Amino acid sequence: MRLLILFYFIGGIAITAQVGIGTSAPDPSSILDITSTTGGLLIPRMNAMQRENIVAPATGLMIYLIDGADQCLQVYNGTSWENIYCPTTNTVPRATSVDFTGNLFENSTLTGVYNFEDDEFDVEGISTYQWFMADDNAGLNSTPITGATSLNYTLTSNELSKYISFGVTPVAQTGALNGSQVLSAWQGAVISPPVSRINEFHYENIGTDDNEFVEVRITGGIASQPADLSLYTVTLYNGVSNSRTGYESETLDNFIQTCDGSNCYYTWDVVIQNGSPDGIALSDPSGLVEFVSYGGVFTAADGIANGVLSIDIGVQESNTTTTSNGSIERTAAGSWNLDDDSNSKGLVNSI
């Protein structure tokens, strides 16, 4: 350290003019010029009790108070100690409960969800998002999906067979702004969308109609079924010319589900009208899947098939159908056949 003190002699009396620490040329306007590139000015540090023990503090006296969790640069204003600056210990925001919703099917839209938390209750600013894909549920070979930087993301064929994660970097409007990126658990793999269809039904037989039902088939085993079956709806239609409206409707989450290795079957035990004509419509998250009828064709006047002309399946039951165990079943190719006395309710069709 270089300490330079300049003295002037006037009439044999030494007068101190300037003090330079770390400099040989203290600024002419200063009484003390401290120059350094490796350290700073450290003023006395003390707690409140030590500060109060200062006898007759001079106006302008300065200390740095450290008393428990309180820290402040203070100056004595002639009557009391006044805070000049008190640094805060603001913490960065956090993203918790990071997850996403939606079906892991090509062309399905996923939505990220999370909680924004900040210890100082700073309001959320513009947090940033990134979707990722990987080769397994441990995140092997994780890579960001190009352009997938919004809260929502629609899956493409590029993500088929991949596992997906949603990441969020929380940002506060004030205080400590940027938190750390947090990723959701990996989910997958992404598959082609399952195919749903009206698969089998029974509505009339000899004697009192009994064991009436509608069955919907969705391709894929239990693990690949839609996450939200409430988005799939079956509506029964009255096809008479002065109505053509739905008379009963239900979503697949309220059907009975049975699955094999290839498909799942959803059965609805419901009283069905006897035709001439009547119809059944099925919709999924993308809209109407199909609208079939028996005993003729008609255009629906409301509901999920509103304005759509039905497709006659070409066969129908009657009061001569042998037993209540009969049904109209759909073949693998999609055509319909009447089985008078043996249905495959909740199982793979027998034809």
CA distances for 51 relative to 60, 68, 88, 192, 229, angstroms? 14, 14, 21, 73, 70
Q: Position 74: which residue type?
A: Q
Cα separation, 237 vs 302, in Å, equals 9
Query: Nearest Cα to 227, choosing from 274, 188, 273?
Result: 188
Query: Nearest Cα to 88, choosing from 109, 50, 119?
Result: 119
**Model confidence, pTM:** 0.56
Those residues of the chain that have pLDDT short of 50 are 1, 7-8
Cα separation, 189 vs 160, in Å, equals 7
Evaluate whether 201 touches 272 at the Cβ level (below 8 Å). yes
Evaluate whether 289 touches 282 at the Cβ level (below 8 Å). yes
Q: Reading across the β-sheet that carries 81-85, which strands appear in turn?
A: 45-46, 62-67, 70-76, 81-85
CA distances for 72 relative to 43, 64, 68, 85, angstroms? 12, 6, 11, 6
Query: 62-67 and 45-46: which strand pairing?
Result: parallel
Cα separation, 68 vs 57, in Å, equals 23
Cα separation, 176 vs 178, in Å, equals 6
CA distances for 103 relative to 187, 189, 296, angstroms? 10, 11, 36
State the residue for tokens 């088939």. 217
Taken in order 239, 245, 248, 250, the sign of the CA dihedral is: positive
Cα separation, 143 vs 159, in Å, equals 11
Cα separation, 316 vs 339, in Å, equals 10
Per-residue confidence (pLDDT) for residue 146, from 0 to 100:
97
Per-residue confidence (pLDDT) for residue 323, from 0 to 100:
82
Rounded (5°) CA angle 35-38-44: 75
Maximal CA-CA distance, the chain? 139
State the residue for tokens 């749903």. 196
Which secondary-structure segment (H or E) carries 219? strand 213-219
Per-residue confidence (pLDDT) for residue 13, from 0 to 100:
55
CA distances for 314 relative to 243, 263, 287, 331, angstroms? 22, 25, 24, 13
Query: Nearest Cα to 131, choosing from 176, 99, 103, 107?
Result: 99
Write out the CATH class of domain 94-188.
mainly beta
Query: Nearest Cα to 232, choosing from 268, 282, 198, 193?
Result: 282
Give one DSSP letter per residue of 239-307, joined into a string: -STTT--EEEEEEGGGSEEEE-SSEEEEEEE------SSEEEEEEETTEEEEEEEESS--B--SGGGTT
Evaluate whether 285 touches 306 at the Cβ level (below 8 Å). no
